[in-house]
Amino acid sequence: MELSREKLLRVKNVNPAPLVVPKNKKKIALDVVWYVVGIIVSLIFIMPILYMLAVSTKSQIAADRASGIALFLPDFANLGTFFNNYRKVFTDYGIWRNALNSIIYAAIAIVLNILVNGLAGYVLSKFNFPGKKFFTFIVLFLIIVPVETSIIPLYTIVTQLLGLHGRMTVLGVILPSVISIFNIFLFMQFFESIPKDYEEAARIDGAGNLKIFFKIILPLSKPIVATVAVFCFIGVWNDYLWPMMLLTPYPEMMPIQAVLQTIQNIEGVTTGEIMASLVVTSIPIFIIYIAAQKYIVQGFGSAGLKM
């Protein structure tokens, strides 16, 4: 017997119950193992950070007496002295001055890094010229060369060839961070993914190469620009060896990482004060990386790299 039109429509609109496929016991056990392993590995990485945060709130006596789980818990029993170590680090040791130095050095280095490395990546990705393959090979080859191998030549260039002496050596601290082979490679890979139609349309309107770079290429490259800026900031902020070589006679111009060694060598410094200074130096990196994580992932993805 044929169904009426109304019944047929009603039958068609009935949504069948979703088919629930029970998980295999072996797959469930494997998932549990992976979760347990992930939690254990995460704890291994996060425990030193918890220890650093906890000890930074304790006096030397409380830090020495702590044991077991108390090693990783802040000193909530003495809230009146909770921030004493941080107060001493900022007031007595003046770490805020060195933090300000690092911020200034990083800001200058980021601007110059984006301009210099961005232009180099733009030329290597968008222009055809004699020796292009050779220069591209040099860029790829220099990525694997350790930075430490160039420390002595850099020092010779800064002090003898450029003649930067006295307080002018502060320029020598910034100059090596301006050029980064890895950042050139990132820019080059990202720019190759930008369609040439934008450039051709701009050239029809009479735009030159520099105008195309600043008005079209860079605005379309916000993810990779943010990625390079974050890496440059982290590199300058964590730089220790190079500033120590140049700025040892001028402690007031030292970046924050270089002054940490000075704090550790002060007579009578406590473990809590050392940990407080480490927390202060770590917070900006955490904040910047978390804030720009989305752009970093997008930048690496657009550049054809896997994180």
Which residues are within 8 A (CB) of 184 and not within 5 positions of it... i.e. 6 or more apart?
117, 120, 121, 124, 139
CB 197 within 8 A of CB 134: no
Q: Are residues 151 and 70 in the same domain?
A: no
Supply the pLDDT for residue 283.
Answer: 87
pLDDT value at position 302? 57
Report if residue 9 sits inside a domain.
Answer: no
> What's the pLDDT score for residue 4?
54
Determine the distance from the C-alpha atom of residue 304 to the mean position of all C-alpha atoms in its chain, rounded to a whole number: 19
User: 10-residue block means of pLDDT along the chain (307 residues)?
Assistant: 49 50 72 89 87 86 79 74 83 86 92 92 86 82 78 83 78 86 88 84 84 87 88 88 83 84 81 87 86 71 52
What does the alpha-carbon distance between residue 226 and residue 187 come to, in Å, rounded to a whole number? 11
Distances (CA, A) of 52 to 36, 49, 72, 260: 25, 5, 8, 15
Handedness of CA 169, 171, 174, 176 (dihedral sign): negative
Domains in the chain, number = 2
- How far apart CA 294 and CA 195 sit, in angstroms, is 23
Contact 89, 281 (CB under 8 A): no
- 225: domain CATH number is 1.10.3720.10
The last residue of a domain, from among 79, 103, 133: 79
Q: Judge if 50 and 103 occupy the same domain.
A: no
Closest CA to 222 of 125, 304, 118: 118
Tokens representing 27 are: 């797959």
Report how far residue 223's alpha carbon sits from residue 304's, in angstroms, rounded to the nearest whole number: 13
Distance separating alpha carbons of residues 110 and 288, to the nearest angstrom? 13
Q: Does 129 lie in the same domain as 242?
A: yes
Range of the domain at 238: 93-302
Q: What is residue 285's predicted lDDT score, i.e. its pLDDT?
A: 86
Q: What is the DSSP letter of 215?
A: I
pLDDT, position 3: 47
Alpha carbon distance 56, 86 (integer Å): 8
289 and 297 Cβ atoms separated by less than 8 Å: no
Q: Sign of the CA dihedral 108, 113, 119, 122?
A: negative
- Residue listed under structure tokens 């170590």: 85
Q: Phi/psi zone of residue 304: left (φ > 0), alpha (ψ -120 to 50 degrees), beta?
A: left
What is the pLDDT, as a whole number, of residue 114? 92
Domain annotation covers residue 70: yes
Q: Is residue 122 part of a domain?
A: yes
Residue 116: the pLDDT is 92
Say if residue 103 is in the same domain as residue 233.
yes
Same domain, 185 and 207: yes
Radius of gyration, alpha carbons of the chain: 28
**224-257 confidence digits (pLDDT tens):** 888 889 889 988 998 888 888 888 788 788 888 8
